[in-house]
Amino acid sequence: MTSKKGIHFEVSERKLLLRLMDILMVFLGIYVLDLCFDFEYIQFTTEFVIPLFVLAFYLIAFGTVFEIYDLQQASKLDVTFKNIVLTTSLTVLFYLLTPFYTPFLPENRLQIVYFYLVLILAIFLWRLAYLTFIQSPRFFKRVLLIGEVSNIDQIVKTLNVSDPNYKVIGFINSEEEYEDPIKFRGLKEFNKKDLINVIRQEKISEVLISSLNPETITSDVYHNLIALLETGFSIREFTQVYEEITYRVPIQFVGKDFYKYFPFSRSNQNKLYLVSHRFFDIVFSCIGLLFGLLLLPIIIIGNALGNRGPLFYTQERVGRHGKLFSILKLRSMIKNAESDGMQWASKNDSRVTVFGKFLRRSRLDEIPQFINIIKGDMSIIGPRPERHFFVKELSKSIPFYETRHIIKPGLTGWAQVKSRYGGSVDESLIKLQYDLYYIKHRSIFLDLNIIVKTMSTVLYYRGQ
């Protein structure tokens, strides 16, 4: 009934493809190097199985930290090249510094230079091919929306920003027609009677149902959808796709059936996970405090010159189950920063001192919070704790806001590594969507992902 679907790589498939091809291209480059230059440092023999595995591990680990597997970054050739150089530089450095698992240095030191340049060239050539072919329109997922006109604009913008390869071709209004219907000019509208023909002619690979009220879908559209489903055609609900490609829970589309959207992760009750999580909190906090003590002389001097006032400050924040606690931080704002009353912190906030800006961008201002973590008020990973005044105000305008308090607040979290500072109600809504995603999908793998992305935030000096 429908035309043959085009090839499309899902987000997870593209990330996996990037990783696999990076390793394969590096191995191919080493093999060619051995053939052409009698390269002896590392070869494809049984003797080098472990060194080759270690090389692949370092590439994936440092590539993740330097964001060469971030699809938004991978779509920009100049940014990709810079990140590849950083990744390969650290990979080669660590490779040379771990001779127990890697080959000893060759007598001809020039081979190390060849090794380094081949890594950069092999990965860059593959990324050039990725941008030329995989990112081309032939691999786009062509999608047809079915829903109310009032939702179309927000949905299209979200999909375009989150995944450029997810192309919305047009939409069909699922509601009954009125004498003077509302029209949406930003996207082509098809007649609901032509649903089957549209899918065939436009080579649609997926239908996306974006109706907030399924009862508004007309019987004609409903029966055509049933017919498509029986042929195995992909029909999905918008909130499912939204969560999958944005890694956020779309609470603005959640209605009275909210319970369907919050099957929270079993890890929230898993004793083994919780005990190991707490153990990690304590160990990491002890290491963090030792690191802070080493930097304390520099921080004291910087505070005296750039802050001129108390080194620390405390502030009341909302913790798990709404319990209040005093958070401890290094002061980054001028004294009496809220003499005119409570206000949101914002980008380029004039109240932030010169040294305070450095503390925030490097995340060093967060070091004293390791004490809060050891006391049990916070965790390493979780939603950032907010002030009671703002929680009270945001709860009035954002549904499910206090749901983020069912777990301990964190030093870093999914919202912190995926979004900017929440300095308004709209930005707080986005942060809440990320926080709920973490609570819903909480696991050791997501925790590791957050730790790696936090390292990227610190290395790229993105703190606020």
What local confidence, expressed as pLDDT, does residue 368 receive? 94
User: What's 203's domain CATH number?
Assistant: 3.40.50.10700
What local confidence, expressed as pLDDT, does residue 335 receive? 75
Q: Name the band, by pLDDT with cuts 50, 70 and 90, for residue 27.
A: very high
> Of 16-20, 351-355, 364-368, which gets the smallest average pLDDT?
351-355
Q: State which of 98, 115, 134 marks the end of a domain.
A: 134
Q: Name the band, by pLDDT with cuts 50, 70 and 90, for residue 87.
A: very high
Q: Name the band, by pLDDT with cuts 50, 70 and 90, for residue 36.
A: confident
> Of 188-192, 283-287, 413-417, which gets the smallest average pLDDT?
188-192
How does pLDDT run across 410-424, given as a tens digit for each residue? Answer: 999 999 888 866 567
What local confidence, expressed as pLDDT, does residue 2 receive? 46
Q: Is residue 45 part of a domain?
A: yes
Q: Is residue 239 part of a domain?
A: yes
Cα dist from 2 to 206, 237, 350, whole Å: 11, 20, 59
Q: Is residue 259 part of a domain?
A: no
Q: State which of 105, 134, 163 marks the end of a domain.
A: 134
Is 0.85 topped by the overall pTM?
Answer: no
Do 364 and 294 lie in a common domain? yes
Do 360 and 331 lie in a common domain? yes
What local confidence, expressed as pLDDT, does residue 28 receive? 94
Do 77 and 145 lie in a common domain? no
Q: Is residue 261 part of a domain?
A: no
The count of domains in the chain is 3
What local confidence, expressed as pLDDT, does residue 76 receive? 84
Average pLDDT of span 301-319? 88
What local confidence, expressed as pLDDT, does residue 178 receive? 56
Q: State which of 84, 107, 134 marks the end of a domain.
A: 134
With pLDDT > 90 as the criterion, what percentage of the chain qualifies? 34
pLDDT at 268 over 90: no
What local confidence, expressed as pLDDT, does residue 284 receive? 94
Do 47 and 109 lie in a common domain? yes
What local confidence, expressed as pLDDT, does residue 6 receive? 58
Do 300 and 315 lie in a common domain? yes
Q: Name the band, by pLDDT with cuts 50, 70 and 90, for residue 435.
A: very high
Q: Is the Cβ–Cβ distance between 56 and 32 less than 8 Å?
A: no
pLDDT top residue among 136 and 93? 93
Do 445 and 397 lie in a common domain? yes
Average pLDDT of span 226-237? 87
Q: Considering the chain, what is the average pLDDT of its residues?
A: 85
Q: Is residue 70 part of a domain?
A: yes
Q: Name the band, by pLDDT with cuts 50, 70 and 90, for residue 40.
A: confident
How does pLDDT run across 102-137, given as a tens digit for each residue? Answer: 888 877 888 899 999 999 999 999 999 998 887 776
- Considering 148-157, 257-266, 287-296, 455-464, the range whose residues carry the highest mean pLDDT is 287-296
What local confidence, expressed as pLDDT, does residue 216 receive? 72
| 42: containing domain | 11-134
> Of 175-179, 310-314, 387-391, 452-456, which gets the smallest average pLDDT?
175-179
Do 309 and 291 lie in a common domain? yes
pLDDT top residue among 37 and 289? 289
Do 323 and 440 lie in a common domain? yes
Q: Name the band, by pLDDT with cuts 50, 70 and 90, for residue 18.
A: very high
pLDDT top residue among 233 and 343? 233
How does pLDDT run across 333-365, given as a tens digit for each residue? Answer: 877 666 666 666 666 677 888 888 888 888 888
Q: Name the band, by pLDDT with cuts 50, 70 and 90, for residue 370.
A: very high
Do 235 and 116 lie in a common domain? no
Q: Is residue 253 part of a domain?
A: no
Do 283 and 329 lie in a common domain? yes
CA 316 and chain centroid, separation: 29
How does pLDDT run across 319-331, given as a tens digit for each residue? Answer: 999 999 999 999 8
Q: Is residue 273 part of a domain?
A: yes
Do 154 and 39 lie in a common domain? no
What local confidence, expressed as pLDDT, does residue 185 receive? 64
pLDDT top residue among 347 and 458? 458
Q: Is residue 429 part of a domain?
A: yes
Do 74 and 166 lie in a common domain? no
